[in-house]
Structure 1
Amino acid sequence: MKTSDALLLLSAFTSAQWGLVTSRQAKGAGVDGVTLHRLEKAGHFDRVRHGVYAATIAVVTEARNEQAAWLMLNAAEPAWKRPLLEPAGGVISHGSAARLHGLGELVDDRVVLTTPRRRTSRDPNVRLMTAELLEDDVTTIDGLPVTTALRTILDLLDQRTDGSHIATIIQEAVEADLVRIDVLAERIGPYALRYGVRRPEDGGALLDHLLAEIGISAAHLARQPTPPRP
């Protein structure tokens, strides 16, 4: 196959998938592994992770690792054909979702995704969690499905993430108008005992307990002005 023909076939994917294409998508389009390897050697593509390639002319975003990991969950299916809640795929979640939302400073280079059924990954840099998400639990960031700020906070609480880290994420999420503090207080109650708050189901008490670790209160945070929408 001519290089120009192969590049044209692959551009149907890279133009709509953040500059990325999987080896299975390439094969389905008629570009075999030998040709893909030749394109890589010629400098047209870089291998991002096993089975995922990026066009060298594509803009590299901070979400590239998450994009590549998400594509590999259902490697043959084009991104534009996948529903928000994909039975064979997943959603960026937990610390990875917090990072994409620009919340907190959790230190973990692994990409975390939540899938509707139990799955495993051979990639040590990918962690798969299992949970049934609702549409209200998911948003999109540049076309990539990501758990909402609220769901992300709940997931991190469920993992017993350090209280001060969670408090910072909560503060930044409220200030960015990604979550309402009254809604948060209603939803986080089930995690109170995990953080030593001896008032089961009291989300308000847990919220005050967490925010106290960074020197603020829920009342103070609730008074912060909502930023103007762009």
Structure 2
Amino acid sequence: MDQKSRCKSMKISYNCNMKYFSNITAISELSESEGVFTTAQAARMGISRDALAHSCRAGRLERICHGAYRMSGTQRRDTDELNALWKLTNPSLCAWERKRQWDGIAVSGTTAANLQQMGDFYLSPYRMTAPMRINTRNESLSFAKREIAEQDIVWLDGLPVTKPERTLVDLCLDCEDPSLIIDAYHDALGRGLDIQRLRGLVEENSKTAKRRELMAPLLMVLNG
């Protein structure tokens, strides 16, 4: 190999190494900021799909689900998959951007109840609520099309979760077991449940005979 070819080869190698270390730095920064992050978030930082795939093969990244990752060696949380699925509902935006401008997509129902230790509900299958219809092929996730006011959510582990009052109403709308809903009510009551807000939400969602029937567990404890 002549001098010119060697120089060109060294330059290519140098550029590849610089890009390699640049990707590692960017991935680390994104992980530190977001924890679980998406392919679209990575793309905003100039990290390609190939770079993500290479980091997975090298053991630096773990793929949580299609389009979502976390750094290997970081502390795992029970909510990592849930966090990934929520972020994938608007994959290019960071959590702080969505927190700044509420988009109406929240963790709700049985999943919200589990996160807030209300009743005997499982974390998954995951339940979310959105103002628009969202279809998913993921069997561990379902969506309800409902409007959730920003005042009715609380941020837990980087996730927008319906507050206990809204969670109880959604459990009724989702036709969960009335006895479990009542148990959840009593658990929330012991932790400062806002009865006035709950009454308002129940009233808003009891304007038809069908809705009043769904709200029966809460109407019973509130009027009992």
TM tier relative to shorter chain: 0.7 to 0.9
Q: TM-score, normalised by structure 2?
A: 0.79
2:161 alignment partner, one of 123, 141, 146: 146
Q: Does 1:33 align with 2:49?
A: yes
Q: Structure 1: which 5+ residue stretches go unaligned?
A: 210-217, 219-230
Q: Are 1:45 and 1:55, in contact at CA under 8 Å, matched by a contact in 2?
A: yes
The offset of 1:85, in angstroms, is 5.8
Counterpart position of 2:185: 170
Aligned CA-pair RMSD: 2.4
Q: 1:187 to 1:65 in 2, by over 3 A?
A: same
Which has the greater radius of gyration?
2
Aligned to 2:142: 127
Question: What is the deviation of 1:13?
Answer: 2.0
CA distance in 2, matches of 1:171, 1:193: 20
Choose which of 180, 183, 188 in structure 1 pairs with 2:202: 188
| Cα distance in 1, alignment partners of residues 137 and 212 from structure 2 | 35
| Amino acid paired to 2:152 | D
Q: Who is 1:212 aligned against?
A: none
1:5 to 22, 36, 40: 22
* Contact in 1 for aligned 2:130/2:143 (Cα 8 Å): yes
Note if contact 1:85-1:135 (Cα within 8 Å) is conserved in structure 2.
Answer: no
Q: Deviations over 1:146-200 (max 9, x none)?
A: 11110000011112210111111111111122x1346545643635534768xxx
Change in CA separation of 1:208 and 1:83 when aligned onto 2, cut-off 3 Å? closer
Aligned counterparts of 1:170 and 1:84: Cα–Cα separation in 2: 30
SS at match of 1:114: strand
Aligned: 1:55 with 2:71: yes
Distance 1:196 1:173 in 2: 18
Instruction: Give me the whole-angstrom Cα distance separating, in 1, the residues matched to 2:91 and 2:216.
Output: 43
Query: Which digits, 9 at most, give the CA deviation of each residue in 1:55-94, with x for residues without a partner?
Result: 112211222122111110111111121136643x611111
Query: What is the DSSP-based 3-state SS (H/G/I as helix, E as strand, rest coil) of the residue aligned with 2:69?
Result: strand
Structure number with higher helix proportion: 2
Partner of 2:132: 117
Residue identity in the other structure for 2:32:
S
Tell me which amino acid in the other structure corresponds to 1:207.
V
What CA distance in whole angstroms lies between the structure 2 residues aligned with 1:126 and 1:196?
26
**Residue in structure 1 matching 2:108, options 93, 105, 109:** 93
Aligned length: 201
User: Any idea what SS the aligned residue of 1:81 has?
Assistant: helix
Contact 1:16 1:79 in 2 (8 A): no
How high is the sequence identity, in percent, across the aligned residues?
Answer: 24
TM-score of the aligned structures, taking structure 1 as reference length: 0.77
Amino acid at match of 1:68: A
Letter in 2 for 1:91: A
Determine whether 1:14 maps to 2:31.
Answer: yes
* CA–CA distance in structure 1, aligned partners of residues 100 and 170 of structure 2: 19
What stretches of structure 1 move > 6 A for 4+ residues in a row? none
Once the two structures are TM-superposed, the CA of residue 47 in structure 1 deviates from its matched residue by 0.7
**Partner residue of 1:221?**
none
